[in-house]
Structure 1
Amino acid sequence: MSVTDPGTGTVSRTTVYGWAGGSSGPVTIVLHGGGPGCHSMSDFTGVMGLLPFRRWLWIDLPGYGNCAAVGGGTEFDASVRAVAALLDRLGLPQVDVLAQSLGGTVALQLAAVRPDLIRRIALIGSQPTAHPGGAADFIADPSLGARTREKYYGGDGPSVAKMQDLLATLEWYDGSTIPESTVQARYRSSITPIALAAATDATQRVVPNDIGAVLDSIEAPTLVLWGRHDPFAGPDYAAALAAALPRGDLVVLGRTAHHPQAERPQAVAAVVDAYLTDRS
């Protein structure tokens, strides 16, 4: 399985989704991050390919990949409702979740409002609140995402060179190892009509809510997996988030930044598989 452009999945009202891996057994849904060009296949193709026996359901959130934005309430709430509605329509029992950044916040909110849908969560680089558990003394840059999007889409607009720089400075620890295919796939996804609409119209993109008030109500065991060199927030933030979750666990992975699942997919796959296989 290689990094591909978004999009040969099934459209179901407000979601675009597809299946990968095994044809039977427990389902693990995959939710992507919120950076330019992110979609679930690009964010997690490496990990899914290393665990082909798992039954993966990848989902593109509204405003990303080939999934158009949806209205009603805030865009973030609409994303949570869209994922819940898809799981209900598919008639799935409790699912596991593997999610990156924005997708992790969606997963946590979903686990809070629909605990019947979620069994276990493994999230990577997610910042669902400014101050998890009331903690404040940690390294974080809450405006970095907005500044990154403005820089990428501003000036002369998106380019392959800008995407290479974005991945190298924010998502990977060692930018010299980024495959050209990854850069090209993310760039192509960042210039689709849906992506460009979200770049110019804030109502067309997902803006996460601060869900700190519901973290202590989340019953699902949750793994907080963090890149040691994540520029959005440091391991101290990750530790505070894990501590704020009733059944939170923490793994910090060295030599990685915001996308450890892309840079070190073997390590992430091993940790995630062990965690999601745990039935305790």
Structure 2
Amino acid sequence: MQPPNGLYADADGVKYHYLDLGTGSDTIFLHGGGPGCTGWSDFGPVAPRFAADRRCLIVDILQYGKSEKCRISGPMWDFHAKKTVALMDTLGVDKADFVCNSWGGTIALCLAARYPDRVRSLVITGSMPVFYGPLAPLPENGHRGRAARDAYYGGEGPTREKMRRLITRLEWYDADRLPESTLDLRYEQSLDPEERELAAMSDSPRGEWQDLTQELGQVRAPALFIWGMHDAFLTPDYPLMLARMVQRGNLHVMDHVSHHLQEERPVAYHAVVTGFFNSLANPWVPA
């Protein structure tokens, strides 16, 4: 799980850290928003499989990992989408497939709506782009992730055992299979002084929350929502709704996983996503 050497790129006034692995179709990986998350912590277990025949750009999203801890003003998903497109411009990526978890998936959906010519396809896992659902109200009014972050950084502050409890309660289905290396990566990153400073503030440094109901209808790229049967944030009824809201939505529900499918079952995750990518070479388009 030790990450490869990373690279840095300037993009519209901010600095991104990313990993560049493999060759082939440009594929951008965007991670989730949990404490200590990075591109490598979320996608390290599955990245070598994709890198066998794809160029994998594994990004630390802004305010996480080694990317800039800039303050965000205005609508948050618009901000992230604009900066991600600027990163693509810097890296010479005209169009990409996006493979995303949670927070990163909402960024990608917004990007696909705002900049449709830059997105070839979307793979979305555990994201919450709208604030309602078939089982509304959503758990903790849709703020379960924020509540978990506040609890993790609150009280006595971050500890390794608090990180273990957070991951095994909200992100992994089988607590006994959580690798100690993954736990260490997340915990050590969560101690970053700038990340702790952001966590101690209100949500204002992260920008204004956006509901993407209107934007989802504008997403033209083929989208696969791949979900854990036991997702701790949103049951599979929710991504079924999302798959109907975009123009070309698909849904796959995987058993014995929660919120981080790509880490718990990387072989199965890669197989499903690769099958989706392969299907796009011979799409069935209704008349």
Q: CA deviation at 1:33?
A: 0.4
Q: CA deviation at 1:3?
A: 4.8
Q: CA deviation at 1:59?
A: 1.4
* TM-score computed with the length of structure 1 as normaliser: 0.92
Question: Is the counterpart of residue 182 in structure 1 residue 182 in structure 2?
Answer: yes
More displaced stretch, 109-118 vs 199-208: 199-208
Question: Is the counterpart of residue 51 in structure 1 residue 29 in structure 2?
Answer: no
More displaced stretch, 110-119 vs 70-79: 70-79
Classify the secondary structure of the residue corresponding to 1:46.
coil
The residue type paired with residue 99 of structure 1 is C
Contact kept? 1:102, 1:208, Cα under 8 Å: no
Partners of 1:184 and 1:157 lie apart in 2 by 16
Contact kept? 2:30, 2:98, Cα under 8 Å: yes
Contact kept? 1:28, 1:56, Cα under 8 Å: yes
The residue type paired with residue 238 of structure 1 is P
Partners of 2:14 and 2:276 lie apart in 1 by 30
Which residue matches 2:118? 117
Which residue matches 1:98? 99
- In the TM superposition, what are the counterparts of 1:20-35 in structure 2 within 5 Å? 20-23=20-23, 25-35=24-34
Which residue matches 1:147? 147
Q: CA deviation at 1:138?
A: 5.4
Which residue matches 1:157? 157
Classify the secondary structure of the residue corresponding to 1:58.
strand
The superposition leaves residues 101-142 of structure 1 with CA deviations (integer Å, 9 ceiling, x where unpaired) of 1100000000001001101000100110023xxx53457311
Partners of 2:270 and 2:6 lie apart in 1 by 24
Classify 1:205/1:111 alpha carbon distance in 2 versus 1 (closer, same or farther; 3 Å): same
Partners of 1:93 and 1:77 lie apart in 2 by 19
Classify the secondary structure of the residue corresponding to 1:173.
coil
The superposition leaves residues 12-69 of structure 1 with CA deviations (integer Å, 9 ceiling, x where unpaired) of 242423343323x210000010111111111011111222221101111111111212
Partners of 1:137 and 1:162 lie apart in 2 by 29
* TM-score computed with the length of structure 2 as normaliser: 0.90
The residue type paired with residue 16 of structure 1 is Y
Partners of 2:90 and 2:22 lie apart in 1 by 20
Identity %: 36
The residue type paired with residue 160 of structure 2 is V
The residue type paired with residue 263 of structure 2 is A
Q: CA deviation at 1:89?
A: 2.3
Q: CA deviation at 1:276?
A: 2.2
Q: CA deviation at 1:10?
A: 0.9
Classify 1:208/1:26 alpha carbon distance in 2 versus 1 (closer, same or farther; 3 Å): farther
Q: Which runs of 4+ in 1 moved over 6 A?
A: none
Unaligned segments of structure 1, at least 5 residues:
none
Which residue matches 1:63? 63
The superposition leaves residues 170-212 of structure 1 with CA deviations (integer Å, 9 ceiling, x where unpaired) of 1000111100000010011111122112211233336652111
Classify the secondary structure of the residue corresponding to 1:97.
strand
Question: Is the counterpart of residue 227 in structure 1 residue 228 in structure 2?
Answer: yes
Q: CA deviation at 1:273?
A: 1.6
Contact kept? 1:66, 1:194, Cα under 8 Å: no
Contact kept? 1:128, 1:210, Cα under 8 Å: yes
Which residue matches 2:275? 274
The residue type paired with residue 223 of structure 1 is L
Classify the secondary structure of the residue corresponding to 2:74.
coil
Classify 1:205/1:72 alpha carbon distance in 2 versus 1 (closer, same or farther; 3 Å): closer
Partners of 2:25 and 2:109 lie apart in 1 by 19
Aligned residues, how many?
Answer: 274
